[in-house]
Amino acid sequence: MATTYFPDTCRVGAISVEELIVRLRRSFADSYRLEAELRGGSMSRLFRAIDLTDNREIVIKVLPPELTSDVMAARFRRETRVTSRLRHPNILTVLTTGVQDGLMYYVMPFISGESLRERIAREGQLPIDDSIRILRDISSALSYAHEEGVIHRDVKPENILLQDGHAVHAILADFGIAAALTLPGETAHTRITRTGMTLGTVGYMAPEQSFGDAVDYRADIYALGVVGHEMLAGSPPFAGATTQAIIAANLTQPPPRLEYFRGDVPPNVARAIERALSKFPDERFQSARLFSEACLRP
């Protein structure tokens, strides 16, 4: 997770980053010492900080101030309370959450490394063995979470961290945050319009999620299929110039076959990703564990 400051002109809603940092330092003065802003927060902001209680590095993720309302804060507390109990080596633990000084936030351990998004941006197509290992790590995280009754709802490269010091060790972050920020009856389009989320998120949503239908664990399997395709092909299976174009492609077009992009993808892995990307939940793998097993090298 590389450390960098954002430009001074960057703003979060109606608050500049400088103003936000001053506000956070005042709010958390007794608990945390803010060190620097981190890259990769998308619509939210990430800050590396020191936990003053035990002098360890942590990350504070602050959600957009314009989302903070009594209804949203209550939903945020409820969802994060459920997901904070998850304990798995491939899931980033949520240490604490709260609403303070008008800001919704949660605190996580600091992971030294980078996001999968950063690695794809740097390398394009990833090595086969690394891609399979990442798919299996994240499948393991999802399998555990689904057994605990928790759906991620926002699996994408930005939410997958690759830890330093390991050949490949992938960690899934932001469990339950999508649910916490989605109001009943919202579709993908209305949620994006309200929150200003990046277009990339749209391309990872299962068709039923885009329609605003009830979503179960198979939406996570679909999203992981999109991630698998992107790691191996170097680009996501569905693209477009606008939100509507991406959603339309996702709903109507079959994913391009991985063999068209590179010839070294094992056939079983290509077929597994193709099955995970089925438009119909009943045609996908019915568990993340089955998806993981199908991705094993023959």
Q: Which are the catalytic amino acids?
A: 154
Scored b (16 or more CB within 10 A) or e, 125-159 reads bbebebbbbbbbbbbbbbbbbbeeebbbbbbbbbb
Calpha distance 49→45 (Å, rounded): 13
CB 80 within 8 A of CB 97: yes
Give the C-alpha separation, 251 to 238, whole Å. 9
Name, in order, each residue with C-beta under 8 angstroms of 165's C-beta and a sequence gap of 6 or more.
112
Element (H, E) at 57: strand 56-62
Give the phi and the psi of residue 33 in degrees, each rounded to 5. Answer: -110, 110
